[in-house]
Amino acid sequence: MSPVMLITGASRGIGAATARLAGQSGYAVCVNYVSNREKAEQVVRDIEENGGKALAVQANIADANDVERLFHICDLELGTLSVLVNNAGILEKQMRVEDMDASRLERVFTANVTGAFLCAREAIRRMSTKHGGSGGAIVNVSSMAALRGGPNEYVDYAASKGAIDSMTVGLAQEVAKEGIRVNAVRPGVIYTDIHASGGEPGRVDRVGLATPMGRGGTPEEVAEAILWLASDKASYSTGTFVGVSGGR
C-alpha cells in the first residue's frame, strides 16, 4: 500500500509541483483544487503516466463541509492518510491596509488560516495515535512574507502566514507525542500564478533580483523541501521551518 498524501491547492504552482514529486516518490496523491478542474486532472494524468496513483477532488478549503467531504473521499479512494500538505492560499490586489475592506480580509484569512486549521483538524483525527491512527506529518506552506510583513503590498496576506507560523509551532507541540510532526516551508518569491492575482504578474523577476541569489525560485525547488519534511528523513524535526527563498 502506498502512503497517502493530501495536498490542498494542487492544481497549479507549488501544490502541483509537490503532487508530481510526491507521485514520483511513491505516494498516492489526493490533488485538491477549488475551481480549476482541467489543471487538476492534468496533474493526475502526469502522475499516472509516471506509474503513480492520484485523484483530483474539488473542495473549497474555506468551507468546513467541503473539507470534511474532501478528507472522506480521500479515505475511501486512496486509504489511510499519512501526510497533509496545507498548501492552498490566496492573495489579493496589492494595496495599503487603510484601503482594505472587511470582505477582502475575510476572504484572505478564511482561505489561508481557517482552511489550514480545518484541514489540520481532519488530518489529526485520522493520524493521531490518540484517535487510533498510526501517525503522520503535516507540512504547512507559510511564506517569507510572515517575517517581512508585506508592506504596501499585502500586510493581510503576510499576517495570515504569521498565523500559519504560530499554528505550526503550537500544533507541533500539541501532537508531538501522538506520532504527528508539524513543520512548514517558507518560500520566498516563486514563479507561479499567485503574483498575477496580486496585480503584478512580473513580481518574481523584480523581487527575485534583489535576493542574494539574484533570482526567483521554482515550484519544484519548494516541492523538494516539502517532500523532505513529510518524509521519515525529517523524523526528529517538528515545529520548525525551512526557508526556500534564495538567501533572504
Q: Which residues bind ligand NAP (CB under 6 A)?
A: 8-15, 32-36, 39, 60-62, 87-90, 111, 115, 141, 143, 187, 189-190, 192-194
CB 246 within 8 A of CB 212: yes
Query: Which residues are designated catalytic?
Result: 157
Q: 108: which residues sit within 8 A by CB, 6+ positions away?
A: 90, 91, 92, 154, 156, 157, 160
CB 139 within 8 A of CB 127: no
Provide, rounded to whole angstroms, the least separation between the CB of residue 47 and ligand NAP.
Answer: 15
Provide, rounded to whole angstroms, the least separation between the CB of residue 197 and ligand NAP.
Answer: 6
Provide, rounded to whole angstroms, the least separation between the CB of residue 204 and ligand NAP.
Answer: 7
Q: Return the number of the residue (8 or 82) whose C-beta is nearest ligand NAP.
A: 8
Provide, rounded to whole angstroms, the least separation between the CB of residue 14 and ligand NAP.
Answer: 4
Q: Return the number of the residue (4 or 7) whose C-beta is nearest ligand NAP.
A: 7
Provide, rounded to whole angstroms, the least separation between the CB of residue 216 and ligand NAP.
Answer: 7
Residue pointed to by grid coordinates 534564495: 246
- CA–CA gap between residue 199 and residue 191 (Å, rounded): 14
Handedness of CA 47, 52, 57, 62 (dihedral sign): negative
Short-list 156, 179, 165, CA closest to 243: 165
Strand partners, 6: 30, 84
Q: Return the number of the residue (107 or 178) whose C-beta is nearest ligand NAP.
A: 107
Q: Return the number of the residue (143 or 183) whose C-beta is nearest ligand NAP.
A: 143
CB 217 within 8 A of CB 189: yes
Q: Return the number of the residue (68 or 178) whose C-beta is nearest ligand NAP.
A: 68
Tell me whether residue 111 is exposed, middle or buried, using C-beta atoms within 10 angstroms of its C-beta: 0 to 12, 13 to 18, 19 or more.
buried
Count of CB atoms within 10 A of residue 102's CB?
7
